[in-house]
Amino acid sequence: MRSSLSTAGRRASVLAAAALVSLATAACGPADLQGGAAGTTGQTDVSSQAAIDQPLSLGDAPTAPSSAVPTPAAPAPTTPAQPQTQAPVAGATGSEVEGTDESAAAAVPTEVVPGAPQAAATADQGRRKRDSSSGRSTSASAPAPAAAPAPVAAAAAPAAAGASTGGSGGTFTDQARRSFTAGNGQTGNYLLYAAGIDPAKPVGLVVYVDGTGEYGVDNPTSSYALGGSSGLVATSRARNMMTLAVESPNQSCECWHTGDTSGYADFLAGLIENQLSKYPVSEVWLSGFSSGAQEITRFLVPRHPELMRLGGGWVVFGGGGPPADGGSAVTAARMAGVRGHWFTGTADTSVPLTASWGAQAGERFYAGRGVVTSSEYPAGVGHALDGRLGRTVGQLIDAS
């Protein structure tokens, strides 16, 4: 006969083993599914977050550039392999890795030795009104965009006026450099500026992709692109818009127009959709310089025209050519209410204005597909951003 103490001990051991089995079973969920190979589907899975080992304080001032405006050398893009037309991607995708605690607000970019930017106009809040019936931006001098037409077969219809993504869970803080991996395996870093945004009002998202070398994103406090009172972050924030500045997955050249261009476009689309799932965004604006300009009009929009479903549009500098794949997915139905603005100087030799892959050809193509286009082609101006980014983007948003 076993003693009662021995029996109790055996019973405790059994119960402990059962508890361990239960815990192990709960911890073993189904494996995450990765959507599609690079450059084929563009689909990715629901995002997750973890710690990263390269935090960056967005308020840290970089070494001041020389008196001349830094002009990252953008090699003349050659026509890459033609990507296949991409079906619309639905939902937020990819996995996200944090650089810092999300609750730790990054410092607002401050102006650091501006590289002789053009005199910037202060954002005139009075020009940009919110139509109470639509929630979209209107201009005091320009009529509101016409209502989007009914969708054509197999096309992603533009959202109704005043619609938003309805995203939730994102914090309205400036968030330090993070890493995002799309379902196709492409990985890149990004910065998000969301502090000071009022979620009770319509919220916009402005995306920036830089030129070769990515000086503007690597130096976010410089007035060259993002920083300062006239930089993209400040002018976007003044319009209740977040700024998403993205580095290319191709860090061998820090550029977008060479390599796996289809894969990079799918990565960028996945990251944007990831943010749209977290925030109630009512309009999306894309902006890019040089290689980044080519990314927007030659690769991203042609593969993912569904990103323009909320309206908005793009502003591209020193580039912005026609789609590399022919643009069959870019239709008037998908581009309804979308604005596009091109800025390239006549003396630009890196991405020549008149090249078949340059700005004039890009503007002509998109004008023929329903985009409301505008342009600035100043005489004698070369391939330089020159601090124009925030001011020009703000002006186009105000006029929309």
State pLDDT tens for residues 10-23: 444 434 444 433 43
302 lies in some domain: yes
Is residue 151 one of the residues assigned to a domain? Answer: yes
Mean pLDDT (the chain, rounded): 73
Please say if the pLDDT value at position 122 is more than 80.
no
The first and second tokens of residue 58, run together, are 């967005």
Quickly state the pLDDT bin for 249 (edges 50, 70, 90).
very high
Q: In whole angstroms, what is the distance from residue 330 CA to residue 14 CA?
A: 65
Q: Is residue 26 part of a domain?
A: no
DSSP label of 149? P
Look up residue 373 and give its amino acid.
T
* pLDDT value of position 162: 60
Q: Does residue 246 register a pLDDT over 90?
A: yes
Residue 270 has pLDDT above 50, yes or no: yes
pLDDT attached to residue 365: 98
Instruction: Collect all residues with Cβ–Cβ distance below 8 Å to 49 and sequence separation of at least 6.
Output: 96, 97, 98, 102
Domain region containing 157? 95-106+120-399
Mean pLDDT of the 96-114 span: 42
280 part of a folded domain: yes
Q: pLDDT tens digits, residue range 293-305?
A: 999 999 999 999 9
Roughly how many angstroms between the first and final C-alpha of the chain, as a whole number? Answer: 89
Predicted confidence (pLDDT) at residue 332 exceeds the cutoff of 50: yes
Classify strands 203-209 and 241-246 as parallel, antiparallel or unpaired: parallel
**pLDDT surpassing 80 at residue 254:** yes
Distance, CA of 249 to CA of 95 (rounded, Å): 14
Span 305-315, average pLDDT: 96
Count how many Cα atoms sit within 13 Å of the Cα of residue 38 in the half-sphere of its side chain. 14
Q: Answer whether residue 221 shows pLDDT above 70.
A: yes
Amino acid making up residue 42: G
What does the DSSP assignment read for 194-262?
-TT--TTS-EEEEEEE--TT-HHHHSTTSTTTT-STTSHHHHHHTTTEEEEEE--S-TTTT-SSSSSHH
Residue 296 lies in a domain: yes
For residue 159, what pLDDT is reported?
57
374: CATH: 3.40.50.1820
- As for how many domains the chain has, the answer is 1
pLDDT of residue 192: 98
Position 155 scores a pLDDT of 40
Q: Among 64-68, 158-162, 330-334, which is the least confidently predicted range?
A: 64-68
pLDDT in tens, 145-192: 333 333 333 344 455 556 888 899 999 999 999 999 999 999 999 999
What pLDDT is attached to residue 259?
97
Residue 78 lies in a domain: no
The pLDDT of residue 158 is 55
pLDDT at 45: 34
Residue 46 lies in a domain: no
| Number of other CB atoms surrounding residue 152 within 10 Å | 12
111 or 240, which is more confident = 240
Contact present, 58 and 191 (Cβ < 8 Å) = yes
% pLDDT > 70, the chain: 60
Question: Is a pLDDT exceeding 60 seen at residue 321?
Answer: yes
Position 164 scores a pLDDT of 84
Kindly state the percentage of the chain with pLDDT values over 90.
Answer: 58
Residue 386 forms part of a structural domain: yes
